[in-house]
């Protein structure tokens, strides 16, 4: 069955969001029958014709009209602004008539303007999460999620999170194997879970030198090892004293604390993505002791691993 995707754009939209169409394009290739593609994507705008993105690149669009869609999706913008009455009226009508409604990045503000997110959980780009909550208090904003599905209304974080969102849509329609094959073809990590943090521990630590970066990369790839300061200092080709001093100056943390952050991030991903027992997750990420991992989770997230697993299962059920 072919599913028709209506992708709504507007002047000044962020053109990176159009990478979402690649997920559906590749899904058509895996169906194996060009005469009956899995998806048909139509770019829509209020007046049709060429619509210029924030980068200055124009794209051709079809004007709003009497269209039937399986999924209606709104793109985002670097500088979100109020939508026109015509845009909101079409979005409201199309959302009611469609099986799914979705937004990418700040497109969540468009859904909020249209009243589609009232009483729902939603996310958006991390830098606008609090603004979305302030403007629309009826929404339960979870600003550190990759994407959220609440009753058939999907919202995603910013920029490349649109890939995770669309992989999840394809997975819901055609199963995990097709989603996994598309991710592999796009050379991306197989769909991050919706509950995964928008932040990366390595990016947050922001090491300045190649030596400290190499030590952190080594640690991330060898979490099952003890990862002593001496071992990391050897990787960085520094003495223990030089390494500890440089590490704290560059990252603002001790090596032990940074390794714990990397372990917690990896453990959370395992808990959200799979069905591994807690003790196995602890062993695979270098905590060894589940109680030690529990304490680390409380420091990092304010909740134990079991609560993270329950939240992930609730998202999956939704």
The CATH number that applies at residue 250 is 1.10.10.60
Q: What is the pLDDT of residue 237?
A: 93
Cβ atoms of 78 and 14 within 8 Å: the answer is yes
**Residue 313: per-residue pLDDT:** 77
Tokens of 113: 């303007």
Same domain, 295 and 238: yes
* Residue 58 confidence (pLDDT): 96
Q: Residue 51's closest CA among 83, 15, 103, 92?
A: 15
Q: Is residue 217 part of a domain?
A: yes
154 in any annotated domain: yes
Overall number of domains in the chain:
2
Q: How many CB atoms lie within 10 A of CB 16?
A: 20
**Distance (Å, whole) CA 158 – CA 162:** 7
* Of 286 and 276, the one with more pLDDT: 286
- Please state, in angstroms and rounded to a whole number, the distance separating the CA atoms of residues 38 and 59: 23
Residue 180, burial from CB neighbour count under 10 angstroms (0-12, 13-18, 19+): middle
**Pair (241, 272) in one structural domain:** yes
Cβ distance 8 to 21 under 8 Å?
Answer: no
191 is a domain residue: no
- Whether residue 232 is found in the same domain as residue 100: no
Same domain, 103 and 209: no
Containing structural domain, residue 54: 3-185
Place of tokens 């991050």: 192
Structure confidence at residue 131 (pLDDT) = 93
Residue 11 lies in a domain: yes
- Pairing label, strands 71-74, 147-150: unpaired
Same domain, 140 and 31: yes
More confident: 79 or 318: 79
Q: In the listed set 185, 210, 237, which residue is the last one of a domain according to the structure?
A: 185
User: Which CATH number do you get for residue 45?
Assistant: 3.40.50.880
pLDDT tens by residue, 212-229: 989 988 998 999 999 999
DSSP string computed for 166-187: HHHHHHHHH-HHHHHHHHHHTT
In the chain, the percentage of residues whose pLDDT exceeds 90 is 62
Residue 193, in any domain of the structure: no
Asked whether residue 167 falls in the same domain as residue 25, the answer is: yes
Domain boundary among 158, 185, 212: 185
- Which of the listed residues 127, 158, 185 is the one where a domain comes to its end? 185
Report CA Rg, the chain. 22
SS3 content of the chain, % helix, strand, coil (to 5): 50, 15, 35
- Same domain for 257 and 136, yes or no, is no
Residues 210 and 251 in one domain: yes
pLDDT tens digits, one per residue of 226-274: 999 999 999 999 999 999 999 999 888 899 999 998 999 889 888 887 7
Q: What CA–CA distance (Å, rounded) separates 265 from 272?
A: 11
Whole-number Cα distances in Å, 88 to 59, 68, 85, 96, 315: 21, 17, 5, 12, 28
Q: State whether 163 and 281 are in the same domain.
A: no
pLDDT of 95 above 90: yes
Return all residues near 176 (Cβ < 8 A) that are at least 6 apart.
Answer: none
CB burial string 242-274: b at 16+ within 10 A, e below: ebbebbeebbeeebeebbbbbbbbbbbbbbbee
pLDDT, position 30: 83
138 and 215, same domain (yes or no): no
Is 196 within a domain?
no
- Same domain, yes or no, for 168 and 207? no
Which distant-in-sequence residues (6+ apart) come within 8 Å of 65 by Cβ? none
Please write the tens of the pLDDT for every residue from 135-188.
999 999 988 788 999 999 999 998 888 998 999 999 999 988 898 889 888 887
Computed over every residue of the chain, the mean pLDDT equals: 89
Q: Is residue 101 in some structural domain?
A: yes
Considering the domain architecture, whether residues 225 and 139 belong to the same structural domain is answered as no
pLDDT in tens, 145-155: 889 999 999 99
| Structure confidence at residue 275 (pLDDT) | 77
- Is 87 among the domain residues? yes
């Amino acid at each position: 069955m072919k599913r028709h995707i209506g992708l709504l754009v507007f002047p000044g939209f962020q053109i990176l969001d159009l990478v979402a169409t690649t997920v559906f394009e590749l899904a058509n290739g895996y169906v194996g029958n060009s005469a009956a593609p899995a998806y048909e994507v139509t770019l829509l705008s209020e007046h049709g014709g060429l619509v210029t993105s924030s980068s200055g690149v124009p794209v051709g669009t079809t004007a709003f009209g009497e269209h039937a869609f399986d999924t209606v999706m709104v793109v985002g913008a670097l500088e979100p602004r109020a939508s026109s009455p015509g845009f909101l009226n079409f979005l409201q009508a199309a959302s009611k008539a469609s099986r799914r409604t979705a937004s990418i990045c700040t497109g969540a503000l468009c859904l909020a303007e249209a009243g589609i997110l009232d009483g729902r959980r939603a996310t958006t780009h991390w830098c606008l999460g609090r603004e979305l909550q302030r403007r629309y208090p009826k929404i339960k904003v979870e600003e550190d999620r990759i994407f959220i599905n609440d009753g058939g209304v999907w919202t995603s974080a910013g920029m490349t999170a649109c890939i995770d969102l669309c992989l999840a849509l394809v997975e819901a329609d055609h199963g995990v194997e097709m989603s996994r094959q598309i991710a592999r073809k796009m050379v991306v990590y197989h769909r991050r879970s919706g509950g995964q943090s928008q932040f990366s521990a390595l990016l947050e630590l922001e090491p300045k030198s190649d030596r400290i970066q190499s030590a952190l990369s080594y640690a991330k790839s060898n979490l099952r090892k003890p990862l002593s300061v001496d071992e990391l200092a050897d990787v960085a080709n520094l003495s223990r004293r030089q390494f500890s001093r440089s590490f704290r100056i560059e990252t603002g943390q001790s090596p032990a604390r940074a390794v714990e952050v990397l372990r917690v991030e990896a453990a959370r991903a395992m808990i959200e993505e799979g069905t591994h027992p807690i003790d196995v997750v602890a062993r695979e990420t270098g905590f060894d002791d589940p109680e030690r991992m529990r304490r680390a989770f409380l420091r990092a997230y304010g909740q134990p691993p079991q609560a993270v697993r329950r939240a992930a299962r609730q998202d999956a059920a939704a």
